[in-house]
Structure 1
Amino acid sequence: MKLPERPLGDAIRLNLMPVDVSAGTNYPIAGLYSFGRGFIRRPTIDGSETAYSRLFRISKDQLVMSKLGAWEGAFAVVPDEFDGAFVSPEYPSFDIDSSVATTAYIAHLVRWPAFWERVNPRGSMARRKRITPARLAEIAVPLPDLEEQRRIASRLDAAEERLKEVGRQRDYSIKLHDSLRESMFSNEQLGEPARLGDVLTLERIPAIIDPEENYTQIGIRSFGKGIFHRDGSLGSELSKLKYYEIRPGNLIVSNIMAWEGAIAVSSEADNGCIGSHRFLSFKPTESVDIRYLSHFFQSRQGRELIKTTSTGTVLRNQTLSIKHFENLKVPLPPIGEQKRVASILERSNVIQGRVATQGELSNTLTRSLLHAAFSGKL
């Protein structure tokens, strides 16, 4: 059953609470995440630290929006922990008329992606421009009677609580995985230091690019999240960079993002792909399990070592020196112990992959529930 619609302005009323800013007074500052993710706790500031002469206090159960970010879901209802926080003039606040709408219903409504589209339709030239309170009030939204609003909000609250529990379990699983990895590479577990250049060989097989052939390039995600494939491109569409073949079973290192964990082991799925000169491929000797090294470089100790090989002053562009990398001394236990540690962490990685999939499914389910609720199908 399609829900009746009314202008949102029937349910909300602009209510700004300006406060003159004074030096020597502290102001706890709040902001808003995009995509309906709620409030951001920003650092408390002294009045002397802002150029604004006035800030605006927000109160529990008010609706707050970001004028600049409204088009991508920067809305939220003020929870207890942000009651009394301050925002800039870019964040207007609204009282919710309890005779027309419930706070819980509005809190869910503003997280609905279709609502964001109504705020600023696709293709609108106003995209990325400020949304005014007057514009927000004009938007037609599903607004049934209070009893139906309470029913919808109650069902969404219950579903959300179950999904939050999934999220808590996911976070706990990630912490366990990180703790397991750190314990595996604790000092008392590690073996004698070995120079990387003695156990790894830089392997560079130039790719002969045919303009008419299709090529798949690799990339490496930071924080140990592995290799991914870019969309295929004709040889004639590739840049003028040098390209090299990717062979399975090698340690692939991004020479500009290694410091952030962009290191991975190539697999059979990567065989036949190409990588630019920015992806260094190292072939292991029989004395090292390449999986062990890859996991080691995701540990705290490994990340600190990698940082010593990277040069450059720009945080996001610290180029790894091949010479420095090959001269690194990495503690290596006997090969049998390397395989044992690698196997344990590989199994843990599989579990983490399943956990990540659960997180993606939770996000999809949340969007589906919101769509069903405000389409009259819940």
Structure 2
Amino acid sequence: MNAYPEVTLGTFLWQESDIVSIDPDATYTTAGIYSYGRGLFKRPPITGSETNYLKYNRIRKGQFIYSKLFGWEGALATVPEEFDGLHVSHEFPTFHIDDAVADPDYVAHLTTWPGLHDKLRDQGTGMGSRRQRVNIDRLLSTTVPLPKLDEQRRIAAHLDAATAKIGKIRQLKETAEATRRALFSSLITRAGDPAQVRDFLIPVNDSVPVEADTLYRTAGIYSHGRGMFTRPPIKGSETKYARYNRLRAGQFVYSKLFGWEGALAIVPDEFDRLYVSHEFPTFAIDADVADPRYVKHLVTWPALHAALRDKTTGMGSRRQRVSPERLLATEVPLPPMPEQRRLADALDSLATCHAASATQDRELKALGSALLNYAFNGRL
């Protein structure tokens, strides 16, 4: 049981709007809201003639603001000073905070609390994530813990101090990660003379006919060299493909459709014998020419993704296909084998640091959520 009384948000929020008519010749800086209580962001300036809206809502420092469309996903915030006077559409209602009832700093932390996001998710309307709108009445009827003002201020002060320390740790980690990325790119860029990808990749096609009654485990590839993922199993009768390409551990595989975005990977052991469509060409790595560990790092190299972006065909992001011929003609640094192995050792160490950093990010996020839960459940 919560130690604090629960009240509706409507107890201390009332709608407050500053509606302005849009001048086609004027320039407006508009704002949006990140999900999961991550605050506001600025959009690029836009002229009145470039928007479909006839009116904007001008926001003010200290207001409570949320997104009707993504309130269920935690798109709510209080307005910082640097966003004072910016504009939003009617999809972002704004509210005055009654500071005689609720401390604004306490409310600011409430907007980041996953417990409040969960309540708004349960109150969304519409079917499907893109239609779970949170209307104003639903928002204002949502309950939150609200102790007396002195206790609110004490909690806000504790959370301010804790989040400042977590923010400092994140800042240091971001600096370290930027250094790691720069070192990673420098090591590959300066690795040696360029060679074409065809010098070490051998096209492989283990194509099998799709049988209607067979269940297939298929895979996809994340963009930006982030590896592979499995899809839910699918029966042959449920797919449009007549044939699948069977993967083998250690192969190079990429997406024709998203190769320009870095959808390249080396097939992990656990993906051996999974299936992909013909949109995912596969290649064996010639281990006499290229060290597989070195190639594994190449697939994560942003400069390679950029090179493939320049080699795409079609217009628009959904049609920028990378053909196998284009991939194989792309140049990458390929030093002699002993140097590749030495580089692979160094790059493995950097990858280990990156994995440890990702784990720390998850731990910091969990710590932040735990602090908020303790705070709003009366245990801080």
Question: Same fold judged by TM-score > 0.5?
Answer: yes
Q: 2 CA distance for matches of 1:8 and 1:254? A: 47
Post-superposition Cα deviations, 1:238-279, rounded to whole Å, max 9, x if no partner, equal: 653422332222222222211111112223333333333222
Match of 2:291 in 1: 289
Q: 1:241–1:276: 8 Å Cα contact kept in structure 2?
A: no
1:228 matched to 2:204: no
Match of 1:336 in 2: 338
Match of 1:173 in 2: 176
1:348 to 1:9, Cα distance in 2 relative to 1, 3 A: same
Match of 2:188 in 1: 185
Q: 2:191–2:333: 8 Å Cα contact kept in structure 1?
A: no
1:53 to 1:329, Cα distance in 2 relative to 1, 3 A: closer
1:321 matched to 2:323: yes
Moved more, 23-32 or 75-84: 23-32
Post-superposition Cα deviations, 1:171-206, rounded to whole Å, max 9, x if no partner, equal: 2233122211221233x5422x43433422112223
Q: 2 CA distance for matches of 1:122 and 1:19? A: 30
Q: 1:263–1:294: 8 Å Cα contact kept in structure 2?
A: no
Letter in 1 for 2:105: A
Q: Secondary structure at the match of 1:201?
A: strand
Moved more, 234-243 or 281-290: 234-243
Match of 1:242 in 2: 243
| Number of residue pairs matched by the alignment | 376
Q: 2:210–2:242: 8 Å Cα contact kept in structure 1?
A: no
**1:68-87 pair list within 5 angstroms:** 68-87=69-88
Q: 2:123–2:138: 8 Å Cα contact kept in structure 1?
A: no
Q: CA deviation at 1:115?
A: 2.0
**Percent of paired sites with the same residue:** 35
Q: CA deviation at 1:21?
A: 3.4
1:102 to 1:264, Cα distance in 2 relative to 1, 3 A: same
Q: Which runs of 5+ in 1 are unaligned?
A: none
Post-superposition Cα deviations, 1:325-372, rounded to whole Å, max 9, x if no partner, equal: 233344421111112222211221121112112222322333333233
Q: 1 CA distance for matches of 2:120 and 2:265? A: 42
Q: 2 CA distance for matches of 1:6 and 1:108? A: 16
Moved more, 203-212 or 92-101: 203-212
Q: 1:12–1:97: 8 Å Cα contact kept in structure 2?
A: yes
1:277 matched to 2:292: no
Post-superposition Cα deviations, 1:201-227, rounded to whole Å, max 9, x if no partner, equal: 112223476777664323221111112
Q: Which runs of 5+ in 2 are unaligned?
A: none
TM-score (norm 1): 0.88
Q: Secondary structure at the match of 1:278?
A: coil
Q: 2:184–2:350: 8 Å Cα contact kept in structure 1?
A: no
Letter in 2 for 1:302: L
What's the Cα RMSD here? Answer: 2.8
Moved more, 341-350 or 64-73: 64-73
Post-superposition Cα deviations, 1:288-335, rounded to whole Å, max 9, x if no partner, equal: 113323433443442233234432223134222122323334442111
Q: CA deviation at 1:51?
A: 4.2
Q: 2 CA distance for matches of 1:232 and 1:132? A: 37
